[in-house]
Amino acid sequence: MTPPPFTGADDPPSPKRGPSEPPMRPERIAERLDRLTRWGERTPTTRRHPVHREYDLADLLGLPQRLPPVRLPLYPELAEDARVCHLLARARELAEWLGDEGRVCPRLEELGATDALEAARDLGVPASDPAAVRGLRDLPELRRLWRVAVDCGFVDFDGDRAGCAAQVAAWDGADDTDVLLAWRTALTAMLDLDLLTELDDGALRFGTSGGTLMILLFLARWDGLSAAHLSEVLREGAVRDLPAGTARELWANWTVRNGDPAEILLAWLEELGAVERCEVPVTVPGAVTISFTPLGVPIEADPSAGTTRVARLTPLGLWAVRDQLTAGGLDVPLLPEPADMSIADLVGFAQVARPGELAVEKAAWLTPRDPAWAARGLLEYAAESGPVERVFAVVLASSTIKDHVGVDTAEAIWREAMGHAPISAYAKTELAVLTGGASPDLATDVRERSWMLVDLVLAHTARLPEDFIPARLQTLLDAPADKLVGLIEPLTHCTHPSVREALDLLGTHFPLKKVAKAARRTLFKVSSRSN
């Protein structure tokens, strides 16, 4: 059995089936590679895809049933992007070259050598050795355009002749749905990695599905993936079953003759408008994005090690992959328009978004709103929410106040927040920084510090893979063991509803044994008191 083709589906998304999970970090995507490239060895099961062999994407990819929300342009905007796509324009140009009378196709739906050479010359397609051309197979670039033109219905066949289809002339006025279907058909063609195999007469067969690469890019979202990362995915799929020496030799020879296959494929997808290449910050795995700490020492948000060039999906690419994932039974919600986004929507997105994504969404959300009103709303939401939502809401309010609100109004907002017990510690911390003073009324008491500690332990570790939790806790609580024990022991009397969950995390995952033991001891006392 082969994987289902990357064609998407027109049926509606599946209903929500559980809490949203974070996108996998690029450095963890490789762990899913074996499942992604060996679909044929599984017996897939789902009820939602009657056309192809049944499959369950969540199971195959090791993903939760509900992925983080994504923003997409309106349907007409997507269609306009597809309408002006460069690859489709070149495919229509090839169809127009055929003319109404058409050209003879001596092989099944393929141009002969003479016509292929003439088309290559007229359309500016390179032919390295014209004398050796026997047909389209000897002109890979023209063959790729031909594949798109035929699959998208730009070519009409009448017997052994191929001519320009009527829809080419009607393209500019075509229905948005038809344009997007044509674009998605072209995407399916570009993701057929036989096109890469044919570049070198089958010297190397690429076993990875092209749709797999698109899903990996979708999961990486804003961060994107480097060509080197995608090249390694392709290499693994091509040489996985070969002896190591043979694999190295075949791969090296192929890349010398043809170039990096990932770069070739990305160029094709870029011409289609499915991906874009850009520079993004290099973020540290598990980078901290919450600046509050119970130790009173700020943590730098999103540590960076420079920039790197990556590929990431365009809105059209996101739309196509989301369609495919929802067709496979996953739930990928769409973000509301910024003016319609509630505070809960923004806070929920902040918990799963990367810093660049969140900055864009937050700026759009603030545009139609008064910043002071927005900050107050976020703090009210924080006071009434659970620990994770509370911390993210306070962080959003803090950045909004710092960037958009004057000093006098900022001080008034934070003093109002001091009256809400769950967020009083955060308000005092911000006021101390804002006023530059050590006023007695800004000192936090044991209860406030305990609540903040519980909040931050849960917020810093929420949705984090287990192997990242110890390092994250170490970053959050970077202090001598004795000081940390002194911070943890008062939790015995803490009334925070989630205190036991926080203590369990500290007792299980904190790297310093003395601190972990203190957390377990305190958890025992809290549990005994509750019983």
In whole angstroms, what is the distance from residue 531 CA to residue 528 CA? Answer: 5
- Please state whether 153 falls in left (phi above 0), alpha (psi between -120 and 50) or beta: left
Element (H, E) at 362: helix 355-366
Q: Give the pLDDT of residue 282.
A: 62
Q: Give the pLDDT of residue 475.
A: 86
In whole angstroms, what is the distance from residue 526 CA to residue 499 CA? Answer: 8
Q: Give the pLDDT of residue 492.
A: 93
CA angle 474, 477, 481 (to 5 degrees): 90
Q: Which residue has the tokens 């006098």?
A: 408
CA angle 336, 339, 341 (to 5 degrees): 45
3-state class (DSSP) for residue 474? helix
* CA-closest candidate to residue 190, choices 134, 268, 270: 268
φ, ψ for residue 306, nearest 5 deg: 90, -160
pTM: 0.75
In whole angstroms, what is the distance from residue 141 CA to residue 127 CA? Answer: 9
Q: Give the pLDDT of residue 223.
A: 79
Element (H, E) at 248: helix 244-258
What are the structure tokens assigned to 38, written together?
Answer: 């060996």
Q: Give the pLDDT of residue 121.
A: 92
**H helical segments located in 25-85:** 26-29, 33-37, 57-61, 75-83
Spell out, as residue ranges, where the chain has pLDDT lower than 50: 1-54, 284-290, 296-304
Q: Give the pLDDT of residue 204.
A: 84
Q: Which residue has the tokens 């006021």?
A: 431
* CA-closest candidate to residue 379, choices 355, 411, 414: 414
Q: Give the pLDDT of residue 281.
A: 67
Q: Give the pLDDT of residue 37.
A: 39
